[in-house]
Structures are given as C-alpha cells and as structure tokens.
Amino acid sequence: MGWCGMGFRVSLDIFRGPLDLLLYLVRKHEVGITDIPIAAITEQYLEYLAALQELDVDGVAEFVALASTLLEIKAHQLLPAGAAEEVPVEDPRAELVQRLLEYKEYRDAAAALEERSRRWQQQYARRGGEEGGGPGDPADVPLQEVELWDLVSAFARVLRAAELAQPASIVYDDTPIQVYMARILSRVLAEGRLALGGLFDPSMHKSRLVGIFLAVLELVRSQRVRLEQHCLFGEIWIHPGPAAGEPLEPPALEACDPSLASNEAAR
C-alpha cells in the first residue's frame, strides 16, 4: 500500500496473531473457551479478517488459516447426526480449544509478570544511569486490547457502511500517513477529545478510510493519543496522550503538504 510513494504495512506483531483475536472474541461473548459459539464467532472473525485484509497486514495468511479452521468446524457442526456417523471426520474443535487454552495461559503468565515488574519498579526505582532505565520508545509498547481489536471492530463497521455508499468512480488516495496523523492530532489537541466515528464518512473512498485508520493506530502506538470506550461496541473516544507534544516527521509531511510541516515544526 503506497502513500505518496512511501510503502506502509502493518506489522503482524502489533496484532499479536489470530489466537489473540479469537480469545478477544470469546471474552466479548462472556463464555468459557470450551463453550465457544462457533457459528457466531466465525461470522465475527470473518468481519475482522476483512478489515485486516484491507489494512494490508503483514502476515495476514495466519489469520486466513485460522478462518479456514473455524469454517471447517462450523461445517462439521452443521452436518446431520447420521451423516457424521456414516463418514467419520476428525473434529478439529478440540485441538483449537487446546491451542486457545495454551495461548491464554501464556498471555495470563505474561500479564502477571508485567504487573509484577511494574510493582517492583514502583518500589525500587532505577537510577537514570543504569542500563535499561528510562521509558524507551513508546512505539515499542504493545497495544492493549481496547486499543486494538475494538479499533479494528469499529473500522469493520465503517467499511460495511462505506460499501453501501461507494462512489461511482474509483479514486486513489496517496496522502502520507503522517499527514493524517498531523490533522487528527491537531483536532484532538484543539477539541480535547474526538470521537473515532467522527473521523469517517461512509462516502469516503476506501483508500482514505484505510489511511485515517492507520494514522489513528500509529498515534496510539506512539502514545500521542489514548483511547477510551465506556461500553461494549460503544463509541471510541480519542484523547491526547502522554507523548502528544512530540513532533511528527516534518520531511514526510512536507512531501505532500508543506503548510502542515511548517505548522508542526512551529509547535
């Protein structure tokens, strides 16, 4: 995907992988892992997959592979009982549940270690000169669930609305991600908070929708903005983050909009 001649792909490690998405969907349904509602989960998973494919996610093949497994399980469950007995087919559901349980155990252990490390650092603060001290690059901090899959869910809804209002002619948008980032950040700082849904218009062409979404994702990753969602599938609000005052990349902005670069440099 090119934006003003610059390649931009979403790294798979941001999205953690298909099991992370599946675990997220199970939690949204508030059911146990062993009681996965395959039909509903599969339908929702495919909606997220469509959004990830539009975003040109690096490694999306792994998500596609899990989608195939979910569809296989769903098809197996739809078979009449008699047909299933006549033609024995190994049920892959048990294997998937086991994989998900193992992944959840890994995630829970990692979260516990992270929380323990956070408490330890609060009790025994590092000195500035010690190796490993300092906050490091904010972009290296993994996104929290509410900052990731809820964002993808909102974007999937935008895509569905846009499909009903596509322009008659195909339009390509080569605007750099940094330009969208500067515009969004400027509005957030000016207004205090901004509704994610207010950034999108169903009449926008798909390439622009993708560009805006990627810009929000990068702003969250770099901690220039933070997100709040007060209820399930509710509006996502964008607030200034701890790194909101850090400058963007003037050369990238100047490539397509010199005024944005000069304004950003003056901030």
Instruction: Please report, for residues 14, 208, 247, the alpha-carbon distance to residue 57 in angstroms, rounded to integers and kept in the order given.
Output: 10, 16, 26
Name the token pair of 5.
């001649």
Name the token pair of 4.
């003003």
Name the token pair of 219.
């702003």
CATH 1.10.10 location in the chain: 1-7+143-267
Task: Sort residue 51 into left (φ over 0), alpha (ψ -120 to 50) or beta.
Answer: alpha
List, in sequence order, every residue forming a beta bridge with 238; answer none if it has no partner: 194, 227
H helix runs in the chain, sequence order = 12-15, 18-28, 38-54, 60-78, 81-86, 93-123, 149-163, 177-191, 206-221, 250-256, 258-266
H helix runs in 1-59, sequence order = 12-15, 18-28, 38-54
Name the token pair of 63.
């998500």
User: In the chain, which residues have pLDDT < 70?
Assistant: 1-15, 80-92, 118, 121-147, 164-173, 232, 250-267
- Percent of the chain, pLDDT > 90? 19
- The amino acid present at 148, given as its one-letter code, is L
Name the token pair of 203.
């009449």
For residues 155 and 51, the answer to whether their CB atoms sit within 8 Å is: yes
The pLDDT of residue 90 is: 61
The pLDDT of residue 45 is: 93
Which residue is listed with tokens 């296989």? 72
CATH 1.10.287 fits 1-7+143-267, yes or no: no
Comparing CA positions, the residue from 209, 244, 217 lying closest to residue 9 is 217
pTM for the predicted model, two decimal places: 0.68
